[in-house]
Structure 1
């Protein structure tokens, strides 16, 4: 008796329209796990298909592809994640659905799948995604396997950075302060983790952490870690500079989940000893140093020419 054939799971672009229609029917948004199942239902995936794992074994394939489909809707400005694990159409997304009541054409799906890959996910795009009549067909350039691999890894990195920013917005201030110190230690600051002390709380005088760079604690770096939604302005950086002066400190790092105004950046550049780290750079450093992030080794085979030399 022959084994049952392994069912084929549609590529991620096929998940885009089912997700779009689901989110349109639920203006208040839906949990991501519910969206995964609804998209799988719409595509007719049976129980066997839903049990298939990625080759890495890290995730179910259909959930992975639904996640990438939602990533594309976010990059097109049509959807967003207002909180962790929650998907919801933006105003642009609602307009897009209202203007495209019928099934999307292959060209429209291709536009959503491929035309916004390089769009940063810090905020939704204000304009609607391209219309079928005014957008050119997406043409993928011919690239070597190594080039395609590099592009894929970069795309995965951007998606992880965006997910980290969403996640950081949900953690408590105390956890965020500890996370920042964990990251700085992983980056090589302090001989051991005990050299990085969290002091945030009421009466912290604008200092959330202290790093001893040497065993005796003669040289220190002072840290302020703020999990903010709004942009950090010059007054906050000036206050941090004043807190450093109060400690007679020469080095300080201000880290936030958001960004900085031009005036804040200018002030930091006008004084010595202050480094500003915004949310995108923070998430990138977390990826590089694997803080809150796991990574797997990818083995790329290549013939060892030296081995065959006689």
Structure 2
């Protein structure tokens, strides 16, 4: 099953806190058992790969309930239900979510000051959060979703601009990218080798390292998004590699590879890497080719070690 969002986890987390002082990892283990999560689901990470998804959502459920006064944190890394939390549980709530937490003055002040709440007119116990598509996501998940959306849009722009330029520009893009990735030595050496062979479907050869101990053969196809590279083109490239005694190669396209082409390349004895438009755009972004940093945002966490007094 899918891991519940952080608001759905609020009630189970509060119930665990009512059973005694606990920690996020322990709560995650218990909740995972109760939900019957698989080993893969328990280990699922945020897109950043820095934290388990379940742990992150439990953390935010605990954090928000702490801001509402439902949970106390008596010592580092541990939490327990507060008297206010016990009172809420005594009413046997079916669900605890942000809208419910807005009934508490402390949380309303925190949430409104955080710039994430839109209050509707009415008495204090009727303040609610305006619904939004991301209401079930933690702040970190919203940030990462926004980052993915920006990356996808940027990747599309990169490919569009490559197609608007000349084939020689596309070759230069490949040179810049390979050099940025550590291949070919200098731009000059890489440029001299790429595009010079023209031997039966091989567009170029580039050194794998600065000393030229091994070489990588290149094929580049600048196709529009509706034209896929098929098996015949990959097969022709491989045939050229056999004649050259090549063992390593890269086939780059701005479009996609057909399933037959991908399956063919996967079962070859020679090492051939297929880079389609999506991966090409991602690599250009990762290695800062054709892009620049427009804005840097830092997110900081509390330094628990700073506040740890010697016992």
- What is the TM-score of this pair, normalised by structure 2? 0.51
Could you tell me how far 1:200 is from its partner in structure 2? 2.2
Distance between the aligned counterparts of 1:214 and 1:303, measured in 2? 43
Q: What is the root-mean-square deviation in Å for CA atoms of aligned residues?
A: 2.3
Q: Secondary structure at the match of 1:200?
A: strand
The residue aligned with 2:37 is: none
Q: 2:207 aligns with which of 191, 209, 212?
A: 212
Distance between the aligned counterparts of 1:275 and 1:215, measured in 2? 20
1:186 and 2:184 equivalent? Answer: no
Could you tell me how far 1:151 is from its partner in structure 2? 1.4
Q: 1:166 to 1:298 in 2, by over 3 A?
A: same
Please tell me whether Structure 1 or Structure 2 has the larger radius of gyration of its CA atoms: 2
Q: Which moved more, 1:296-305 or 1:238-247?
A: 296-305
Q: 1:199 to 1:188 in 2, by over 3 A?
A: closer
Q: Secondary structure at the match of 1:249?
A: coil
- What is the TM-score of this pair, normalised by structure 1? 0.51
Unaligned residue ranges in structure 2 (runs of 5+):
1-130
The residue aligned with 1:129 is: none
The residue aligned with 1:292 is: 290
Could you tell me how far 1:250 is from its partner in structure 2? 1.0
The residue aligned with 2:190 is: 196
Distance between the aligned counterparts of 1:240 and 1:293, measured in 2? 30
Distance between the aligned counterparts of 2:289 and 2:189, measured in 1? 18
Distance between the aligned counterparts of 2:198 and 2:300, measured in 1? 56
Distance between the aligned counterparts of 2:243 and 2:285, measured in 1? 34
1:171 and 2:165 equivalent? Answer: yes
How many residues are treated as equivalent by the alignment? 174
CA-to-partner distance for each residue in 1:175-217, whole Å, 9 max, x for gaps?
A: 1111112112212223443442444279453222322124442
Q: 2:150 aligns with which of 127, 152, 156?
A: 156
The residue aligned with 1:302 is: 301
- Runs of 4+ with deviation above 6 angstroms: none
Distance between the aligned counterparts of 2:198 and 2:218, measured in 1? 15
Unaligned residue ranges in structure 1 (runs of 5+):
1-136
